[in-house]
Structure formats: C-alpha cells, structure tokens
Chain A
Amino acid sequence: MYETAVVTDQLLSVGEKFADFTKAVTTKASIAQTPKELIWTLNKAKLYRYIPVLPKEERHPVPLLLVFALMNRPYILDLKPGHSFVEFMVKSGYDLYLLDWGAPGPEDKNLKFDDYALDYLPRAIRKLKVVSGSEEFSMLGWCIGAIITTIYAALRPDDGLRNLVLLTAPLDFSNKDAITFSRWVDERYFDVDKVLTAFGNMPGEMIDYGAKALKPVENYVGNYLKLWDNLDNPQVVDAWRAMNTWVTDNVPLAGGAFRQLVVDLYRNDRLMRGEWIIRGERIDLSRISAKLLTVIAEGDHITPPCQSAAIMSRVSSTDKELFRIPGGHIGIMAGSGAGKRTWPHIENWLAPRSD
C-alpha cells in the first residue's frame, strides 16, 4: 500500500515536471525590453536608437552602432533585463543604435552583400550621424554582421568610422578542414542554385538546422536535458526560455547574399584573397584604418577561431587588439558569463576611444 502511494506520488511529480517542461519549451519569453525609438526604416531594415539613461555630459560623444547577422534576430543583444549587452552599454554611457535587418520577403531574394554594405548600412549611418550630431561613430559587427561592417570599413574608410569591433567574424575561409560549413557547401555536394530556385531565399529553418547539426547532440538532446534537470531553478528556466525564444525565431537569408556566402566566401575565400568585388569595388582590407578590436570565441563551432584571426595582419589600423575568450559563438555575448568577461572588455576598450 505504502509503495503504491510512493509510486503514485512520483508519477504525479513527473507529470507536473513534464507540464512545466512543456510550458517552458512552448511559451515565448519577454525579450528586448530596453526602451528604444525607431529613427529610420528602409524596406525591412530598421534603425533603433536606445533611450539614453545618462545625461548628455556624462555620455561618450562617439555613438555606437550594433550590426547583427542577417539570419537571426538582433535581440540576442538585448535578451532580458539584467542580462542584456544593450542595457549594459546604455548604462555605461553610450549613445547606442541597433540596425535590425528584418526578415527578407520573396521580393528581396536578389539582395546581396553589395546592397547591405553599400546601400542600407551607409544610409542608416547617415541617419545615425544626423540624430547623434556626431560625424564619427563606432561600429560593432557580429558574425555575418561583422562581414558587412568589414566590407563597409574597407570600402568607405573615410566615412567617419573611428572604432570597429568584430565579434566572431567569419572572414578567412582558407582552412577548409576546420570549417564544417565549408565541407557541407562544397560544390560536389551542395547545389546552391537548385536550393535558391526552389526557395528564393534560404529558409530560416534550413539555416537553423545547419547551425544545430554542427553539434547535434548538444542542440537536440543536451539542451532539453539541461532544462529538465533545472526545472526547479526559476533563474535557469527564465534564461533557457529567453534563449529558446531567440533560437526558434528564425529569419531567412536573402538568396543573393546566401549565394555570395557560399560561392564567394566558403568556396573561394575571395575576401582574404583580395578578389571579392562589391559593386565594382575590390575589397582591400589594408584600407581599414579604424581602431580595431577582434573578439574570438575559443569554443566557437560556427565561426572557428581560425576564421577571425587573419584580419589582424591585413588591416592598416595601428591601434588593434585581438581578444580571445573561452565560450561559444553565442555564449560569449549572451551566456551567463558574458556580463563578467566579454561586455566589460568591449566597454573598457571602447570607452577611451569614444571620447
């Protein structure tokens, strides 16, 4: 009789746990809550300015523009109150702007890096200069956003870019053995034109599958076990839900940009070879003269460290730093240790260069 009661209790407890688990997996967390205003839009792209919390005289005069990747939502930078890079930088006195590329529709299937780097970004920067009243600015590019900011910095070196921060920047595609994506999109196995003929843009779900398949056990099993094991810890559950909300919010990648990513970069490494031509202009990395901070995640499986280091010797910037940090592609900026390691380092580097 006693044993039956114990078994019943345990079953009930597992049932409750399962309900909590399902709720955490299927509900969205409240994210991106730092107050901001929309100051510019073009097509799907939006430029936001975060409302400053410090008076003007206590803020850095050089504004900072955040440029995130094309195939994910940028609110990973503003995940949740108390754990947000955006919130941290606003409180540190930065006039902070965020460029959200939005989700491309069928009409955007021909958009290329040319358009993002030499049309959308310069237009957004023009608006930033007008609103901030500063002719100089800093820019932080993360992942594909780092490719776009690098193109811009190389092709428009006299446009007022004072500081350039590159986070997990996939720029060097020469070491094919170390880059799993290079293997997957090899022309012997992957027909990029067939995919784009079928879909127009590269579907977000396929990009998500590709990113998760790099570490299938961690992403498809370990991630959910971590939640199950910590269901009685509200902090862990909240953080997990916020991250899951972001991970499952996929954005397609414009077909033209995807083709360039595969053909020009992953297959032919045209950027580092100095052979990449954007709107008739050859990208010469030695034309980058802005102060440069490159952040490498040592455990990055999406952008292995070998992809980001080579730019340091190619630029003509005299003030440059390569910062290596333990962690993964997203973890270094959104993980539990980000607020103690990565964010303060970026802030400490930027602060004296933003006055």
Chain B
Amino acid sequence: MREKQAANGKEFDSTDAFREMRDTYLDAWAKSMVDTVNTDAYAKASGMMLNNYLSASSPFREAVEKVMLQALQQFSMPSRADVVSIAERTVNIEVRLDDMDAKLDRIEKSLASSRPASRARSAARPAVRPAATKSRKKGAK
C-alpha cells in the first residue's frame, strides 16, 4: 500500500484508513438521524421538551421581570416597556419622514419633467416677444 501510494505521488498517512472508516460510520449515522428527526415521535418529544421548558421557566421569568421593573422604577430608569414605546414612536416618525421624502421626490420629478417644456417655451419666446413688445408700445401710444 505504501509503495502504491508513493507511486501515486501521495505521502503515506497512517490515519487515512481511520478517516475512511470514520466517514463511513458518520454517513450511516447522519442518514439514520435525518430519518429520526423526520418522525412524529421526534416532533412530539421536541415539542414536549420545549413546552416543559417554557412552563417551568415562565414563573421565574415573570418574577425576574417584576423585580427588574421595581428596581428600574426605584432608580428612576425607563423600563423595557418605556423603551419599546419610544422605539415605536421613533419608527412612526421615520415612516412620516419617508412619506415626506416620497412627496419631495415626486415634486422634484414633476418639476424636472415640466422644466424641458418651460425651456422650450422660453426658447420659442424671443420670436414672439418683439411683436408683442411692439404692439404694447403701440397701445401705449
């Protein structure tokens, strides 16, 4: 084997055989685990575990929240609810700003589109203007 690998230009590695064996085992394990997780039994077990965790941690979490709220009030600090409320109001302001930005963009666009027409009008005006001026002068007389 050593000669065969040397002939292939690869260095002999004593761990190759172990790796092959390990990978074969892992492949088989992986396939069986994929089948296992895709069963109702797994879904039921994982759901139950999550449910139990949430039920068990709920009183503790509520107690921590209550203590935290009291502590924050004691130190005149904003609570989580206060911060959330401010964040919501900030988002509302952002939405209003975005609406205004959209309106400004529309105004800018309509101004830009009307500009070529006004330019065309002003470009055409000199041909008309002398006559108009003349007639006005006539009228003045």
A-contact bits for B84-102, CB 8 A (1 contact / 0 none): 1101100100110010011
Partner of A183, one of B22, B38, B80, B88: B38
Q: Size range of the interface on A?
A: 20 to 34
Could you tell me the distance between the alpha carbons of A42 and B91 in the complex, rounded to whole angstroms?
Answer: 7
In the bound complex, residues from chain A placing their C-beta under 8 Å from that of B38 are 180, 183
User: A222–B98 contact, CB under 8 A?
Assistant: no
Residues from chain B with Cβ under 8 Å of A191 in the complex: 47, 51, 54
Encode contact with A along B53-90: 1 for CB under 8 Å, 0 otherwise: 01001100100000000000000000010011101100
A-B contact pairs, 14 of them (CB 8 A): A41-B94, A42-B91, A42-B94, A42-B98, A43-B91, A105-B84, A107-B87, A184-B46, A189-B43, A189-B48, A190-B47, A198-B58, A217-B26, A225-B26
Contacting B at CB under 8 A, from A18-68, are: 40-43
Shortest Cβ distance from residue B75 to the other chain A in the assembled complex, whole angstroms: 20
Contact with B along A153-196 (1 / 0, CB 8 A): 00000000000000000000000000010011010111100110
| Cβ of A108 to closest chain B Cβ, rounded Å | 8
Residues of A within 8 A of B98 (CB): 40, 42, 123
- Counting contact residues on chain B (CB < 8 A from A), the size range is 35 or more
Q: Is B121 an interface residue (CB 8 A)?
A: no
Q: Which of B17-62 contact A (CB under 8 A)?
A: 19, 22, 26, 29-30, 33-34, 37-40, 42-44, 46-48, 50-51, 54, 57-58, 61
A184 CA to B38 CA in the complex, in Å? Answer: 8
Q: In the bound complex, how far is the Cα of B15 from the Cα of A225, in angstroms?
A: 14
Alpha-carbon distance between A198 and B57 when the two chains are bound, in angstroms? 9
Give which listed residue, A127, A130, A221, contacts B26 with CB less than 8 A: A221
* Dominant secondary structure of chain B at its interface with chain A: helix
Also in contact, A184 and B43, with CB within 8 A (given A43-B94, A198-B57, A216-B37): yes
- Provide the bound-state CA to CA distance between A225 and B25, in Å: 13
Contact of A106 among B39, B57, B84 (CB under 8 A): B84
Bound state CA distance, A306 and B42, in angstroms?
Answer: 22
Asked if A12 CB lies within 8 Å of chain B CBs, one says no
Asked, given contacts A42-B98, A107-B84, A123-B98, whether A218 binds B30 with beta carbons under 8 Å apart, the answer is yes
